[in-house]
Amino acid sequence: MTQSGFDPTVPDENNPETRPFWQAAREGRFLLRRCRHCARTHWYPRDVCPHCFQPGTVWEEASGRGTIHSFTIFRAAGAPEVLALIELHEGPRMLCTVLADDIEGLTIGQPVSVAFRAAPVGPPIPVFRPDSTGERLAD
């Protein structure tokens, strides 16, 4: 039930609440929002803190590092592709694509770091890649 003229695979850069994220993405920077009240970060980004429900969270540049909490390799059509839940170094878990030379070698707990992939339309999209310099997460 896609609404006409709307492509859900392209982030809405005009959304006032999340515009800075995509502006930063165009500069290759990965942002999170942190709450001024409870000091926690969250995902996905929003002004009202989902943890303590206070408005006025602020953007900060994040480490862009994390570990794979779980993942799947989609094989039903075309080249296999990976969707994962990434546990960010800052705490929250986010859904994201993983790009890897060896997708068959991916494991839960594996360290990854963010990159940005150019899209045909709209801003570049965050992806995560295996990061051999990162620290593996214990179970």
Partner 1 sequence: MTAAACIVGAYEHPTRKATDLSVAQLHAEAAIGALQDAGLAREDIDGYFCAGDAAGLGPLSMADYMNLRLRHAESTEFGGASYIAHVAHAAQTIAAGKCNVALITLGGRPRAEGVATGTAPRVYNAAAPDVMWELPFRSTIVKLYAMVARRHMHEFGTTSEQLAWIKVAASLHARHNPGAMLRNPVTVQDVLASPMISDPLHRLDCCVISDGGGALIVTRPEIARDLARPVVRVIGAGESLCGQHGGDMDLTRTGAAKSGPTALAEAGVRPGDIDYAGLYDSFTITVLLQLEDLGFCEKGAGGRFVADGGLVSGSGRLAVNTDGGGLCNNHPGNRGGMTKLIEAVRQLRHEAHPAVQVPDCRLALVNGIGGSLGTRHASATVILERQ
Give the nearer residue to Zn ion in terms of CB position, either 42 or 65.
42
Binding partner of 67, given Zn ion, partner 1, none, CB within 5-8 angstroms per partner class: none
Among candidate residues 124, 120, 93, 121, the one with its CA nearest the CA of residue 112: 93
Q: Of partner 1, Zn ion, none, which one does residue 85 interact with (CB within 5 to 8 Å by kind)?
A: partner 1
Residues 6+ apart with CB under 8 A from 125: 11, 25, 97, 116, 117, 119
- Asked if 91 is part of the footprint of partner 1 (rule: CB under 8 A), the reply reads yes
Instruction: Pick one of 19, 20, 38, 90: the residue that binds Zn ion (CB under 5 A).
Output: 38
95 scored as a contact of Zn ion (CB under 5 A)? no
- What is the torsional sign of CA 132, 108, 113, 125? positive
How many residues are present in the chain?
A: 139
Of 102, 114, 108, give the one whose Cα is nearest residue 136.
108
When asked if residue 116 is in the footprint of partner 1 (CB under 8 A), the reply is no
Strands 41-42 and 65-74: unpaired
Which residues would be at the binding site for partner 1 (CB under 8 A)?
Answer: 1-3, 6, 8-12, 15, 17-18, 40-44, 46, 49-51, 69-77, 81, 83-85, 88, 91-97, 108, 119, 122, 125-126, 139
